[in-house]
Amino acid sequence: MTEDSRTEKSIDELVRVIRGNLRPEGPPVDYQALLLYAGGDLDAEQSQRVREHIVAWQSWNDAYWQIVDDLADPHGWFADDAADVQRPTGRNWSLRRIAALFTSACLLVIVAVGTWLIMGRNGTVIDEVVDSPGRVLRRYANGAVTGPESYPEPWRTRIDKLLRTGRIKYPTDVLAFADMRLRGSPSSTYIAPVSTVVRTDRPTFRWKPHRRAEYYHVEVIAADAAMLKSPSVDGTEWVIDTPLRRGEVFSWRVVVVHDGQEEDLDELEPRFMVLAKGSLAELERREAELGETRLGRSLLFVEYGLMDEAIAELKELAAANPDSSLARSLLESILSRP
């Protein structure tokens, strides 16, 4: 086999490797320049451009070093480390070694500068909350926060404020009808719905058991004093059959029946509101737009007064971040009385 035929075979192999391995999103391949370079037909400036073109493939092509090794190299600038040639500068460095050192140096500089900027600007991280994949919220010793910028407005501003205060406030619309003596009180015999807005117009009523109860009756009273009464209930929850009017506030009580007598389970009557129809449609639209974010969803639910749903989101957030004092304080703030 002649030298020319070996060169042509090497070039054909090179083109095949490039076409078979180069990622489609990478830099375009100038095959004509490669062939001229392999044949030694380019001047020094043209050869330099081809070398830069090949280096650009390094971050795109897993077969980069295979290409370099297979390339006919008339100038000797792409020789393996074991057969380095003397460069015009007098330094004995291969392209592979130069590229590796340059890449490593750049990475070190980026990490060092990034760390310096973050630490120098904000100081020590004192708390961290992972809200959802790709969304990490941090609080720093100097009072700065990072992470809210990953949320769309208006949630960005609200979450920024939340990180700084560590508290969620009850909406005034709920406080207007709520009896907060029942909300979150360990002595309360009522579980849900208590001092909240509910999404469904057929809510589930739940309460603690009475030690002498044979069965229970649940009475739901509207603002106009109209009352719905359940049949006998053996357990401690009941789903109402008749849909309640949306946008209205209701109270409810449980009557305990034992030994042929009736008594109220508690002297207090919890109140709740059924979410208005227009608000329900708006809530579902905004909920879909917000996506998977426990913190964002909890704020959305609080905005509409859905306190039980907000608490459920914050419990999941705290469980996913057991070492975060912020996640715990947000949950505690909404569980405590305002």
* pLDDT band (50, 70, 90) for residue 85: very low
Both tokens of 153, joined, read: 């407005």
The CA-based dihedral angle spanning residues 320, 321, 322, 325, taken in that order and rounded to the nearest 10 degrees: -150
Per-residue pLDDT reduced to its tens digit, 146-178: 999 988 888 899 999 989 888 998 888 888 888
Instruction: Give the strand pairing for 249-258 and 271-274.
Output: antiparallel
pTM: predicted TM-score of the whole model, two decimal places: 0.62
Radius of gyration of the chain (CA): 35
Cα–Cα dist 81/98, whole Å: 11
Cα–Cα dist 332/338, whole Å: 11
Pair 280, 246: CB distance under 8 Å:
yes
pLDDT for residue 203 is more than 90: yes
Q: H or E stretch including 232?
A: none
The CA-based dihedral angle spanning residues 308, 310, 315, 317, taken in that order and rounded to the nearest 10 degrees: 170
The CA-based dihedral angle spanning residues 8, 9, 12, 13, taken in that order and rounded to the nearest 10 degrees: -150
The mean predicted confidence, pLDDT, of the chain is 77
Q: Any idea what the Cα angle at residue 146 is, between residues 143 and 150, rounded to 5°?
A: 150
Per-residue pLDDT reduced to its tens digit, 221-233: 999 988 999 999 9
pLDDT for residue 37 is more than 60: no
Predicted pLDDT of residue 152? 86
Cα–Cα dist 233/230, whole Å: 8
pLDDT for residue 32 is more than 80: no
Predicted pLDDT of residue 178? 81
Both tokens of 140, joined, read: 């720093």
Question: What are the residues whose beta carbons fall under 8 Å from the beta carbon of 273, sequence distance 6 or more?
Answer: 173, 174, 177, 196, 197, 198, 247, 248, 249, 250, 305
**What SS3 class is residue 204?**
strand
Question: Which residue did the predictor score with more confidence, 185 or 272?
Answer: 272
Phi, then psi, of 261 in degrees rounded to 5 = -120, 160
For residue 261, the cross-strand partners are 258
pLDDT for residue 290 is more than 70: yes
How many C-beta atoms lie closer than 10 Å to residue 305's C-beta? Answer: 26
Pair 218, 229: CB distance under 8 Å:
yes
Q: How distant is the alpha carbon of residue 231 from its chain centre?
A: 45
Question: Which residue did the predictor score with more confidence, 143 or 46?
Answer: 143
* pLDDT band (50, 70, 90) for residue 114: low
pLDDT for residue 235 is more than 60: yes
Question: Which residue did the predictor score with more confidence, 264 or 119?
Answer: 264
Question: Which residue did the predictor score with more confidence, 237 or 6?
Answer: 237
Q: Which residue in 113, 84, 109, 118 sits closest to 98, CA to CA?
A: 84
Ordered by where they begin, the domains of the chain are 3-78 (no CATH), 173-274 (2.60.40.10)
Predicted pLDDT of residue 214? 95
Cα–Cα dist 20/181, whole Å: 72
pLDDT for residue 139 is more than 70: yes
Q: Which residue in 208, 236, 240 sits closest to 221, CA to CA?
A: 240
Positive or negative: CA dihedral 201, 206, 212, 215: positive
How far from each other are the two terminal CA atoms of the chain, in whole angstroms? 91
